[in-house]
Structure 1
């Protein structure tokens, strides 16, 4: 009897040893069963301001490589036309209006800093709970109160700044919102902020190469202020958009550093990478939205249709385009599916798992309907039809399949569809909360003017409060 027990013990010991050897081998080659997840979010980028999107004058070779090895989405949208609410929707996987995060900023003079609602779950919360290392790098803009800062919203590590923008160069006496910090402690740096953030992203993956990680890499480029390194300005000295070209070049270099390090560490194959802009190109940074109407801050396509790449070489083929209607809301459920994490039954996610579409297991549109609202202005999609509504003014409707520039109002020609879209929007709004703050009368008046003029296909007279009073 003891002989059989000995043999059984020896067999179990051998199986255990073989399993451990396999695990150690897998770790040594940088292969985790769970994919690494990286979201690269850029700021205020123009729709066609990348080579893979058709730019003829801005150079983005590394981002173009990412696009070549991934899938480029041609009808992809963020949930808001401005920075903070767009980030709130992305980070929570739900329409930010569900928790009143509708206007830009994180509060106003009446409310104080509100930020993310305490009961809202972030992607980082979920991945941390499932043994991922979690890091946020760069711009936060989701609240500066201690309870809203990244370290309290699921990120074990935060290297960046809390506010919505700052200089790309060192500041002598920065506020708490504008200082570069590491987990609450101010960091002094030399050089150019885009490089500093890029270097940290590279060092982080070197230090965490043996365990799965979730990285939210939110560059503030190419948001104002328009500042670039001298060497890059010299490279583009004769360029008509010199500073933007230089800033974009630096952004691309740093994304390239990360991409190449993933490749060197043999992590690239099993890393799910998303690349997108937080909203459309802005009116004040010389960005180019191509044939799209509008820009950051308004509900036309130029405000919320964005460049969007998804890459995961291990799981699906790249070098192709996907034309289905999709949203930044899809990032959360797709990442959960990739990591084989089951969604909690109580969690509301408004996005769709894109993996079946990316793996050619499913065709068509991930969404038939999408919705947007920012205070006085709102919009709705239903297949190719798009409604834009301005409170106390009216609404227009376009068919984007043959009018991507949104110039031909079909509201009178097709009243049935027009009324359907209006009703759909109202139904969606009934499920949302009222906005918890606004953007102030000066900016709201400007935004109202822009929508009113564009809805009539008229020239916009001013794009900021300063321009209005010049």
Structure 2
């Protein structure tokens, strides 16, 4: 039978258009991913966490649109391994990454895949803006690890003002760059990074992942004259001004999402990379400890998730949660099959907890290790061990401030947690690929003083 050629062509065109339309709809429905990461922010230094002397109105409004996780932890208590574990969704001890960078060559192994590399296989546009701190070798840099666009610095900190004699001198890892090309900037660095994030949001015509890695409020303690004037007479003037600039940056990014009609379909994660530091004026109260140690002030962080109207607004979730869960939550949201992952992950999707489908603890236990010190949180109990120093046991439901050691009164519970910790180390940990020279000499003594309640916060040093 003879079929009209025009009919065949027309039918093919209609089928093709329908297929194209279906693909565009599917792409439009895939959520954007935005990770907002503060650097060395104090646990108590946001309005949504109870701060009264630090102003963060934009972040507070954003938190009220989602769910605040009150028992959320990063997987490491210092910057570089914390970021590595968040972006791989895996305990860094599985691939020898438990210390901060110590020498050239330290950083991400070639065979570890980051979240952006996974998302690129699903046609996402990926961007990293701000602090990298995951290695400076060509194979370790953002563009090599899955990011299409990188505006920021490879190092762990820099001046908040352009200075060609210090941070921005040739060859410095603190130098501001775009995909390897040196840049200059006017004004304040936090504002500069926020403006690049706004640009990324506006220009993205496909689903995107943006890793917005602020350097604030990490030292050096620098702020604009205008922001300092706002907090004149405040005991933590510089820190308050730096946090205000951080909040302003978050507000501008959220405003851009809303103006572009992308806010409702963007999953937003907000957290700090570790607890407040000894080098800024941050506060982790009522928690004990600070950046670099295994007490709550070093690893429990402000954390919330927002995704349009997908779940109840202004809720608080008390279950045991980890920064490892960001990766798993994104995988779940995109319905990526397990066989689509490069390697098994350690996080748990938070989506069923956000929807109310599940309750309780996403994790039965969480683990930490860096050189001589390791810790486990299992249910209500937490054990900290520093080799050559001491061990302590706390009931976190009754003593979140970690002031009452139960090691001698509950030896069976201590042995139970020691066994769990030992099993984890045997099953999941390899020797560190590098160590931080001089770290043990500093932090082991701090752990001892914290264990004995001789100090509680960085301000006691």
The TM-score with structure 2 as length reference comes to: 0.94
> What SS does the corresponding residue of 2:269 show, helix, strand or coil?
strand
CA change 1:432–1:21 in 2 (3 A) is closer
What's 1:99 paired with? 95
Equivalences for residues 14-93 of structure 1 within 5 A:
32-93=28-89
Instruction: For 1:167 and 1:401, locate their aligned partners in 2 and report how far apart those are by CA, in whole Å.
Output: 41
Partner of 2:162, secondary structure, is coil
Q: Which residue of 2 aligns with 1:156?
A: 148
CA-CA distance at 1:32 after TM superposition? 1.5
Consecutive aligned runs of 4 or more in structure 1 exceeding 4 Å deviation: 1-24, 460-464
1:326 and 2:321 correspond: yes
Contact 2:118 2:341 in 1 (8 A): no
Q: Is 2:131 the counterpart of 1:139?
A: yes
Structure 1 residue 345: deviation in Å?
5.7
Q: Distance in 1 between matches of 2:407 and 2:201?
A: 52
Contact 2:36 2:268 in 1 (8 A): yes
Q: Is the 8 A contact 1:41 1:219 kept in 2?
A: yes
1:461/1:134 CA distance change after superposition, 3 Å: closer
The match for 1:263 among 258, 266, 279 is 258
User: Among residues 387, 391, 410, which one is paired with 2:406 in the alignment?
Assistant: 410
Within the alignment, does 1:280 sit opposite 2:272 as a pair?
no
Q: Does structure 2 conserve the Cα–Cα contact (< 8 Å) formed by 1:449 and 1:460?
A: no
* 2:419 is equivalent to residue 427 of structure 1: no
Q: Given the alignment, which residue of 434, 437, 440 partners 2:437?
A: 440
Query: For the residues of structure 1 that align with 2:125 and 2:365, how far apart are their CA atoms?
Result: 34
For residues 435 and 318 of structure 1, the distance between their equivalents in structure 2, rounded to whole angstroms, comes to 42
- Asked if structure 1 preserves the Cα contact closer than 8 Å seen for 2:384 and 2:393, the reply is yes
Structure 1 residue 435, shift from structure 2 partner: 1.5
1:452 aligns with: 448
The alpha carbon displacement at 1:314 in A equals 4.3
Indicate if the aligned counterparts of 2:113 and 2:342 stay in contact, CA closer than 8 A: no
Partners of 2:275 and 2:299 within 8 A in 1: yes
Measure, in 1, the Cα distance between the counterparts of 2:309 and 2:457. Answer: 50
Q: Hey, what does 1:214 align to over in structure 2?
A: 209
Query: Residue 392 of structure 1: CA displacement?
Result: 1.4
After superposition, the C-alpha distances for 1:105-154 in whole angstroms (9 at most, x for unaligned) are 2x33xxx4221111111111101121100111000000011110001001
Secondary structure of 1:295 counterpart: coil
Give the conservation status (yes or no) of the 8 Å contact 1:270–1:314: no
Number of the residue aligned with 2:335: 340
Measured in 1, the distance between the counterparts of 2:108 and 2:177 equals 20
1:203 aligns with one of 194, 199, 203: 199
Of residues 364, 370, 380, the one that matches 2:366 is 370
Partner of 2:290: 295
Tell me the residue number matched to 1:123.
115
Q: Number of paired residues?
A: 455
Task: Indicate conservation of the 8 Å contact 2:277/2:458, yes or no.
Answer: no
Q: Which string of whole-angstrom CA distances, capped at 9 and with x for unpartnered residues, describes residues 151-205 of structure 1?
A: 1001111110000111000021423311000000000111110011000000011
Alignment partners' CA distance in 1, 2:459 and 2:435: 18
Where 1:40 maps in the other structure, the secondary structure is strand
- Cα gap change, 1:345/1:45 in structure 2, threshold over 3 Å: closer, same or farther? closer
**Does residue 250 in structure 1 map to residue 209 in structure 2?**
no
- For 2:140 and 2:56, the matched residues in 1 are separated by 34
Question: Residues of 2 paired with 1:169 and 1:386: CA distance?
Answer: 42
Deviates more, 1:430-439 or 1:216-225: 430-439
CA apart distance, 1:70 = 1.0
**Which residue pairs with 1:168 in the alignment?**
160
Query: Do structure 1's residue 305 and structure 2's residue 297 form an aligned pair?
Result: no
Measured against aligned partners, the alpha-carbon deviations of 1:398-427 in whole angstroms (never above 9, x if no partner) come to 000010010111112111110010111111
2 CA distance for matches of 1:22 and 1:426?
51
TM-score (normalised: structure 1):
0.92
Deviating more after overlay: 301-310 vs 393-402: 393-402
Which residue of 152, 164, 186 maps to 1:190?
A: 186
- Whole-angstrom distance in 1 between the partners of 2:207 and 2:456: 48
Aligned CA-pair RMSD = 2.2
Asked whether the 8 Å contact 2:64–2:313 carries over to 1, the reply is yes
User: Secondary structure, in 3 states, of the residue corresponding to 1:49?
Assistant: coil
Tell me the secondary structure at the aligned position of residue 28 of structure 2: coil
